[in-house]
A and B are shown apart, each in its own frame.
Chain A
């Protein structure tokens, strides 16, 4: 029983102690600090400009929201590769509604109504698309990778069918003013949307039974089923949330680009997966924390904006950097995982 007492003091949450125990989180924080210090020294003027930070806060919610959804699916040992397709389909749906209900020159009242309907429709599209993904994964039992790659093609195909491959523009000005505006002239609205969405996910994952259940499902699906969890409903709900978050990302993209098109954000699929893996979520399911994912989003956005300040570095290097970081992170996780296995084995006197 003495061991139990030691265990409880060790587990007592203190911010520093938690950090020391979660080596991955420490690694992310150090990475973030190193990046900030590096850019602060090399590009002092650009980096300490309020505008730089504001433009970052407008940009990262686009892929950040998608990453939050992908994180949930990856905790259940799945993945959602259709987020970009859902986002584009939802934003095109919203654009079509706005254009038909409030064409150019409509009065503000009609425009407000049109925007409200459009937002509801976009979220409904996201929920439906996500539910279809969940159905394919949970009921038809297609491996999540293939199911969502297939539905990505399907949703992008629908988006192309609606638009004929051309961009939809000419939205009511009000939409851009609200969604791409700044609260108190300082805080960009997309940042607020992202913050609220992240807090909701945090509450969902840590304070509700649903959160605990998806961790159980991801750790061991068979055990979860035999302990009486309705895995089908859990998976459908998880993918629905991912779809809704992707459609929110679509609404942010619609405001940022002031138009909707079937092939916007094509690099975001990789970016979202990269963020989630970098944030310490195990691709085989069952573990991962929101704070890690949020740190990973910040790291990638700062890296991206920082690189933009070097005009001689071509944009085409970006996939190389994303891909390289992804490979480096999974390799580092693999190596440190092996080391901690060895340490435990040594402590217990087991053969290594």
Chain B
């Protein structure tokens, strides 16, 4: 037991958890509105889309890369599918939209994977390029506009709720969306993939040291390619959930979210140089950012501070993580770079 405690105290997740607890108590003390049923459900609701994106970004960062194209990928996949369904007056269930979005997400992810697995150029530069190709296809070739009326099945899915929480004081209600289950499912699937499959171990191995992984028998190209396909699928699903939840298709709604998501992953203790990190940390990091963003209103801080505080969070978070790597013994290689 004492070993478990010692291990917990040394882990990064523990400190993120402490910070979250401190922030929660601070907000509770200032506004008295934090630990209310409806605020907690609102937070869970706000977690879904960033959480899914963060899982995808986490996979890429663990493999030693960085992906800034997922918001554009998700927007393009969901826009194309929504446009198609709306134009064909689709009246069926929610399964077809999901299947189409997953298919398109996989194709676009494969486009990313094709380049990242074959070129030695940093994946940031590649995904900057593909992000612009994706948004260019959406805004140029498909001449995207806001679609105010989405197919009924998608709107129903967005409205569907598991339960409704009511704030006894203000009477405000918040409903827990069905999509929260998808976040849990994806989380479980990725956890299984990373821990119990050769593919998952390969992702960590490549992030730790690509040539060592190749010597150990992992196919670096194959792993990277399918990794980006998986990330494309997760991102596209997140995009569909956002569109369903809003009840309309805003083509540019997701663009610009990449920084916040990468910050969440790095804050959760994922090594920016690749090779280490945990899903627990990713979820805690996402939770911290979602709490900070959502609670600025509760605290009465003007929204102008949002971008500034996000930048500060990224720099402080990555800075602490970088200093830790430099200090630890096995970070010698990273330190000398």
Q: Measuring CB to CB, which residues of chain A are less than 8 angstroms from any residue of chain B?
A: 79, 136, 140-143, 145-147, 149-158, 160-161, 164-165, 221-222, 225, 269-270, 273-274, 277, 283-284, 314, 316-324, 326-327, 330-331, 334
Question: Chain B interface residue count: which class?
Answer: 35 or more
With A147-B318, A316-B139, A320-B141 already in contact, the answer to whether A155 and B311 are too (CB < 8 A) is yes
Task: Please give 6 more A-B residue pairs, beta carbons under 8 A apart, in addition to A153-B259, A153-B310, A160-B307.
Answer: A150-B314, A151-B311, A157-B306, A277-B121, A284-B120, A320-B136
Can you spell out 25 A-B residue pairs with CB atoms less than 8 angstroms apart?
Answer: A136-B315, A140-B322, A141-B325, A142-B272, A142-B319, A146-B272, A150-B318, A153-B259, A154-B312, A154-B314, A154-B315, A156-B311, A157-B311, A222-B337, A270-B132, A284-B122, A319-B139, A320-B135, A321-B136, A323-B129, A323-B131, A324-B129, A327-B115, A331-B115, A331-B119
Q: Specify the main secondary structure of chain A where it touches its partner.
A: helix
Contact pick for B314, options A153, A161, A165, CB 8 Å: A153
Query: How far apart sit A269 and B134, CA to CA, in the bound complex (Å)?
Result: 17
The 10 residue pairs across chains A and B that have the minimum distance between CB atoms: A320-B136, A157-B308, A154-B311, A323-B132, A153-B311, A150-B314, A157-B307, A316-B139, A317-B140, A323-B133
Q: Specify the main secondary structure of chain B where it touches its partner.
A: helix
With A150-B314, A160-B307 already in contact, the answer to whether A277 and B125 are too (CB < 8 A) is yes
Interface centre among B315, B326, B336 (most CB of A within 10 A): B315
Q: What chain A residues lie within 8 Å of B336 (beta carbons)?
A: 221-222, 225
Query: How far apart sit A164 and B266, CA to CA, in the bound complex (Å)?
Result: 29
**Are the C-beta atoms of A316 and B322 separated by less than 8 Å?**
no
**Are the C-beta atoms of A149 and B132 separated by less than 8 Å?**
no
Q: What chain B residues lie within 8 Å of A330 (beta carbons)?
A: 115, 119, 121, 125-126, 129
B152 to chain A, nearest CB (A): 30
Contact pick for B273, options A143, A221, A222, A284, CB 8 Å: A143
Judged by a CB distance under 8 angstroms, whether B328 is at the interface is no
A270 to chain B, nearest CB (A): 5
Which residue of chain B lies nearest to A276 when distances are taken between CB atoms in the complex? B125
**Are the C-beta atoms of B139 and A283 separated by less than 8 Å?**
no
Query: How far apart sit A142 and B311, CA to CA, in the bound complex (Å)?
Result: 14
Q: What chain B residues lie within 8 Å of A318 (beta carbons)?
A: 136, 140
Query: How far apart sit A327 and B112, CA to CA, in the bound complex (Å)?
Result: 10
Q: What chain A residues lie within 8 Å of B140 (beta carbons)?
A: 314, 316-320
Query: How far apart sit A225 and B273, CA to CA, in the bound complex (Å)?
Result: 21
Q: What chain A residues lie within 8 Å of B304 (beta carbons)?
A: 160-161, 164-165
Contact pick for A327, options B66, B126, B143, B337, CB 8 Å: B126
Judged by a CB distance under 8 angstroms, whether B11 is at the interface is no
Contact pick for B66, options A145, A270, A284, A320, CB 8 Å: A145
Judged by a CB distance under 8 angstroms, whether B243 is at the interface is no
**Are the C-beta atoms of A319 and B136 separated by less than 8 Å?**
yes
Identify which of residues 135-150 in chain B touch chain A, using a CB-to-CB cut-off of 8 Å: 135-137, 139-141, 143
With A316-B140, A317-B140 already in contact, the answer to whether A151 and B125 are too (CB < 8 A) is no
Judged by a CB distance under 8 angstroms, whether B229 is at the interface is no
**Are the C-beta atoms of B132 and A322 separated by less than 8 Å?**
yes
Query: How far apart sit A67 and B195, CA to CA, in the bound complex (Å)?
Result: 43
A133 to chain B, nearest CB (A): 10
Contact pick for B118, options A274, A322, A334, CB 8 Å: A334
Judged by a CB distance under 8 angstroms, whether B124 is at the interface is yes
Q: What chain B residues lie within 8 Å of A331 (beta carbons)?
A: 115, 119
**Are the C-beta atoms of B124 and A145 separated by less than 8 Å?**
yes
Identify which of residues 230-280 in chain B touch chain A, using a CB-to-CB cut-off of 8 Å: 259, 262-263, 266, 272-273
A125 to chain B, nearest CB (A): 16
**Are the C-beta atoms of A156 and B322 separated by less than 8 Å?**
no
A247 to chain B, nearest CB (A): 18
**Are the C-beta atoms of A149 and B137 separated by less than 8 Å?**
no
Contact pick for B305, options A150, A155, A157, A222, CB 8 Å: A157
Q: What chain A residues lie within 8 Å of B161 (beta carbons)?
A: none
